[in-house]
Amino acid sequence: MHVLVIGAAGMVGRKLLDRIAAEEGILGGGIDTLTLVDVIEPAAPRTLAGISTTKAADLSDPGVAEKLIASRPDLIFHLAAIVSGEAEADFEKGYKVNLDGTRFLFEAIRLESAKAPYRPRVVFASSIAVFGTPFPDKIGDEFFTTPLTSYGTQKAISELLLSDYSRRGFFDGIGIRLPTICIRPGKPNKAASGFFSNILREPLAGQEAILPVDENVRHWFASPRSAVGFFVHAATLDLEKVGPRRNLSMPGLSALVGEEIAALKRVAGEKAVRLIRREPDATIQKIVAGWATDFDTRRAAALGFKAETVFDDIIKAHIEDELGGTL
């Protein structure tokens, strides 16, 4: 099997590759070729270096998609995107990368399939940003997509294209709407959602973290481990069972910031909690107030997608996967 990962240098991409390297056959068969692409050259997992090709390329540049698809990968993970803030700040770049890049990929597959039978699996990273306020407390599987960002618009359009190209038989696609990933590894960043991870990750490492919102703010979470699990499951799932509605809100855990902190206390004790410094930020509070807080994800659950159900497990996954298993 030839596997192509576009966006392989990103956090989810790297974790997905680690998982593929760690568990042989996890994608439903032996892998003989792995092609890894990102705008900066991605690293191949050490144990798969012999079968890997790494490339620095931008999917939204003309000709890139055709070259990637000419070798007919069987399974394609499309994780490449510029993030919400950048897509809002740079309108043209957002549409170029997040919409045109995706459409170029889909078109390259369609044109390749017209030459000789070819119907790869395409697993696409979408986002709950396809939804915009006002929405119900729990967003159901049939709620309409009314994005309030250009990023969300680009993801919603990509979802529609993915469904139509799948319906026409050009490829077999599935779109995965990720919850907010928590605990995001790495350094604190300036993303408005960063604090949800920062207030756990930093104290677990003995560092101070800033909480800009109230403890009664509710949000929608899954661990990086669960996110990788979604993509792996989507790669092997029988898509006949999914039917024509190919885009799914993934399971997650709806939790208050206060519940995050209570879990931190249970797992790492009061000394960790004392490292959280409250510093209210009206700008961040306003942004966060527009975000979805809970989802009814029964379609995804019925199809076997799984996420954490208690916050302690999200913290424990971080300790196991990032901190060597102990504090």
Q: What residues are annotated to the active site?
A: 151
Q: Which is nearer to its own copies, 56 or 160 (CB)?
A: 160
Spacing of C-alpha 323 from chain mean position: 22
Task: In whole angstroms, give the CA distance from residue 143 to residue 134.
Answer: 11
Query: Of 11-19, 72-80, 144-152, 267-275, which part binds its own copies (CB under 8 A)?
Result: 144-152
Phi, psi at residue 235, to the nearest 5°?
A: -75, -25
In our burial notation (b when 16+ CB lie closer than 10 A, e otherwise), range 49-65 reads eeebebeebebbeeebb
Query: Of 42-50, 58-66, 148-156, 295-303, which part binds its own copies (CB under 8 A)?
Result: 148-156
Q: Which is nearer to its own copies, 135 or 230 (CB)?
A: 135
Tally Cβ neighbours within 10 Å of residue 148. Answer: 13
Which one of 127, 153, 293, 297 is in contact with its own copies (CB under 8 A)?
Answer: 153
Judged by CB under 8 A, the chain residues 157 through 186 that form the site for its own copies are 157, 160-161, 163-164, 167-168
Cis upstream peptide for 185 (omega within 30°):
no
Closest CA to 105 of 150, 156, 68, 53: 68
Q: Is 33 in the site for its own copies (CB under 8 A)?
A: no
Query: Of 46-54, 145-153, 219-227, 302-310, which part binds its own copies (CB under 8 A)?
Result: 145-153
Q: Which is nearer to its own copies, 20 or 248 (CB)?
A: 248
Task: In whole angstroms, give the CA distance from residue 250 to residue 177.
Answer: 6
Q: Is 143 in the site for its own copies (CB under 8 A)?
A: yes
Cis upstream peptide for 26 (omega within 30°):
no
Q: Is 118 in the site for its own copies (CB under 8 A)?
A: no
Enumerate binding residues for its own copies (CB under 8 A): 91, 110, 132, 142-148, 150, 153, 156-157, 160-161, 163-164, 167-168, 244-245
